[in-house]
Amino acid sequence: MIPFRYERPDDTAAAVDVLSSEPGAAYLGGGTNLVDLMKLEVARHDVLVDVRGLTPATIDDLPGGGLRIGASVSNSRLAADPRVRRRYPMLSQAVLAGASGQLRNMATCGGNLMQRTRCVYFQDLTTPCNKREPGTGCSAAEGHNRDHAILGASPQCVATHPSDMGVALTALDAVVRVQGPDGERAVPFGDFHRLPGDTPQRDTLLGHGELITAIDLPHLPSASRCRYRKIRDRASYAFALVSAAVALEVRDGAVHEVRIGLGGVAHKPWRASTAEETLLGRPATAASFLAAAEAELAGARPLPGNRFKVPLARNVVVGMLNDLAEEQL
């Protein structure tokens, strides 16, 4: 491992100052992703600025009924919070579907959003990878691409985003609160992560030095009728082949509100807006659900190794919508 300096400033402003003056510095949360990547020398940083405990470690009620999740809240604590379990059950289920108990105890919510792809070539210094080393090529495009993207990819990168939490957060219209050298800003979750385009080295729209301080969840009464489902090779300790966070509210037999997030299919947690638009006001039937899922996946461009993801994603979404509808009829 390349030697680095460890710093623990007194507050978030001082942490932002350190990063602003050190181009090779990075924030350290629980370290469950960053330290692994540093050991592999995929990530190389001169300075690590420990922000675990500097950003808030509390979950607070917002006026109007939402919740503010501090960036230092552990993944375990988020999943166990009674308000999250009652009001946003799919968020709790998504977090519990990820990693292991020990990892969730260490991992922070800020770090979870910033975790890097699990593409095997990204972690292998001996292979070309545009995300790790821009301009070298994408080994996955012609290589092992079973785990890769079917939506929104580019010739430069076909990686997927690994976060389960992010799939629920995109469906919930969360907002990421950020503190940076130029002040504070609030970023809608759907804009936070990027598609790869020609610059796959950038996963998010954060600039160097910008620090996640919290994640806001809006008040969403319908979000209690929801669930998260993750399809993976093993029952635990495996990343999603396809996952979905779905909320559905049926009134008088028709779709009154629907939210669908997909994981394991794109470079970012994917909001299935086309499926949602197709469904609003339509009868809450299996035929409508199938038409909506097919409309969303009409834009899928699978790779030789992951064609199975298209029917898998369709079946997961349709099955979850059917289950949620049946419970309300």
160's contact among ligand SF4, ligand FAD, none, with CB below 5 to 8 A by partner kind, is: none
Binding status of residue 200 toward ligand SF4 by CB under 6 A: yes
Three-class DSSP category at 105: helix
- Judged by beta carbon, residue 73 or residue 119, the one nearer ligand SF4 is 119
What whole-number distance in Å separates Cα of residue 66 and Cα of residue 55?
A: 19
- Nearest to ligand FAD of 111, 190 (CB atom): 111
3-state secondary structure of 218: coil
Q: What is the distance between the alpha carbons of residues 305 and 86, in angstroms, rounded to a whole number?
A: 39
131 binds, among ligand FAD, ligand SF4, none (CB under 5 to 8 A by kind): ligand SF4
Q: CA-CA distance, 64 to 217, in Å (whole number)?
A: 11
Site for ligand FAD in 203-222 (CB under 6 A): 211-212
Q: Is 115 in the site for ligand FAD (CB under 6 A)?
A: yes
User: Residues for the chain: how many in total?
Assistant: 329
Number of residues this chain uses to bind ligand SF4 (CB under 6 A) = 15
Q: Report which secondary-structure segment, H or E, holds 219.
A: none
Applying CB under 6 A, what is the total number of residues that bind ligand FAD? 32
Binding-site string for ligand FAD from residue 87 to residue 106, where x marks contact by CB under 6 A and - marks none: -----------xx---x--x
CB of residue 122 to ligand FAD, shortest distance in Å:
13
Q: Report the alpha-carbon distance of residue 273 to residue 92 in Å, rounded.
A: 22
Helix axes 286-297, 309-326, angle to 10 degrees: 150
In the set 92, 112, 170, 306, which binds ligand FAD (CB under 6 A)?
112
Interface with ligand FAD (CB under 6 A), residue from 16, 51, 320, 325: 51
Token pair belonging to 284: 């809450």
Query: Among residue numbers 145 through 164, which ones bind ligand SF4 (CB under 6 A)?
Result: 148, 157-159
Cα–Cα nearest to 289, from 242, 225, 327, 246: 246
Residue type, 193: H
Q: What is the spatial distance between Cα 37 and Cα 33, in angstroms, rounded to a whole number? A: 6
158 binds, among ligand SF4, ligand FAD, none (CB under 5 to 8 A by kind): ligand SF4
Q: Where do contacts with ligand FAD occur on this chain (CB under 6 A)?
A: 26-34, 36, 51, 55, 71, 75, 98-99, 103, 106-108, 110-112, 114-115, 162-165, 211-212, 239
